[in-house]
Amino acid sequence: METTDFTLRGDHITLDALLKATGLASSGGAAKVLIAGGEVRVNGEVDTRRGRKCRAGDEVVIGASRVRLSATPAANADPGH
């Protein structure tokens, strides 16, 4: 199984946007078809909600591809002081 690590820019990304951002779906319409068809698993369970909020620690699987989500590391606010 091919694994892709995806770092969130905010606290979540919707499932359809994640599929597009990782290249697992070529368009929003393609993502919608995959999700509605029950082909996408989130944390081991089929999820048919394209607006589902995916967060750090979640794992999304479609076919032989897996995406692991992580949070953006916190930047040091003022490292020299």
pLDDT confidence of residue 73: 78
**Phi/psi at 30 (5° precision):** -65, -40
Model pLDDT for residues 34-77, shown as the tens digit of each residue = 999 999 999 999 999 999 999 999 999 999 999 999 998 765 44
> Bridge-partner residues for 65, per DSSP?
2, 62
pLDDT confidence of residue 74: 66
Predicted TM-score (pTM) of the model is: 0.87
Domains and CATH numbers, the chain: 2-70 (3.10.290.10)
